[in-house]
């Protein structure tokens, strides 16, 4: 989290009116701040690492370089940021590709202000806002890779407990409450899980767990 407990958000969206509308919704919400507005992937890649946000809202269908390629390039530059993909409708194939690339979830452009803020809150708490269709595609993808998931065997007992609760839909706070742990400890376990499973998102970690 950023200093002063202010949640810092950057938006990468080519539609000017939409950028303005969502940035205003963020700015008027206590504890949230919009620190960057970018009309395309190229300007985002140049600007976001200079002022790293907590969450990046990233349009999938950007002109020029698309949002998925932008995500791949930005992730190593801002490793602590969470990425929410922005889309007009439930583009399952593209959203699925983005989630596998490391996005934390997605939000539809028709979403209201409250839904936008809720999605941002969810990803910061370890959640992964997405449709059941997209979740199903992720599970099917990993099922097709093969039956054995040797990485699961590398997880500690505690890490398995954390991952099992995440698979049940719990947020990091929910996991902390159920296991009587601090949120910081849960997040540390989640990072270890990602490293051991060779994934970059909750969705991918849960998919590997479900196919064990």
209 is written with which tokens? 């767990």
What is the Cα 129 distance to its own chain's centre?
8
Q: What is the CATH number of the domain that holds 56?
A: 3.40.50.2300
Which of 80, 105, 134 is the C-terminal boundary of a domain?
134
Q: Are 164 and 122 in a shared domain?
A: no
Residue 139 within a domain: no
The DSSP call for residue 176 is H
Domain boundary at 115, 134, 153, which? 134
Same domain, 12 and 47: yes
Residue 201 per-residue DSSP state: S
The Cα-based distances of 106 to 30, 44, 60, 62 in angstroms read: 22, 18, 10, 15
Enclosing domain of residue 159: 145-210
Q: What is the pLDDT of residue 30?
A: 94
Q: Give me the torsion for CA of 124, 128, 131, 137, rounded to 10°.
A: 150
Answer yes or no: do 129 and 151 share one domain: no
Based on the structure, what is the number of domains in the chain? 2
Q: What would the pLDDT profile of 177-209 be if each residue is shown by its tens digit?
A: 989 889 899 999 999 998 888 888 888 888 777
CATH of the domain at 189: 1.10.10.10
Question: pLDDT, tens digit, for every residue of 15-41?
Answer: 999 999 999 999 999 999 999 999 999
Stretches in the chain below the pLDDT threshold 50: 2-3, 146-148
């Amino acid at each position: 989290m950023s200093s002063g407990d202010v949640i810092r958000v950057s938006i990468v969206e080519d539609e000017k009116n939409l950028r303005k509308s969502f940035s205003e919704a963020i700015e008027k919400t206590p504890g949230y701040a919009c620190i960057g507005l970018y009309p395309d992937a190229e300007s985002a890649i140049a600007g976001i690492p200079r002022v790293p946000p907590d969450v990046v809202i990233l349009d999938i269908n950007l002109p020029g370089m698309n949002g998925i390629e932008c995500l791949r390039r930005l992730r190593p530059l801002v490793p602590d940021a969470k990425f929410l993909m922005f889309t007009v409708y439930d583009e399952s194939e593209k959203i699925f590709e983005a989630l596998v690339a490391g996005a934390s979830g997605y939000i539809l452009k028709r979403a209201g202000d409250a839904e936008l803020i809720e999605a941002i809150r969810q990803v910061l708490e370890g959640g992964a806002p997405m449709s059941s269709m997209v979740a199903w595609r992720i599970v099917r993808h990993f099922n097709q890779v093969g039956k054995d998931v040797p990485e699961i065997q590398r997880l500690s007992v505690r890490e398995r407990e954390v991952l099992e609760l995440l698979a049940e839909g719990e947020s990091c706070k929910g996991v902390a409450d159920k296991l009587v742990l601090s949120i910081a400890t849960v997040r540390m376990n989640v990072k270890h899980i990602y490293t051991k499973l060779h994934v970059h998102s909750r969705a991918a970690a849960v998919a590997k767990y479900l196919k064990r």
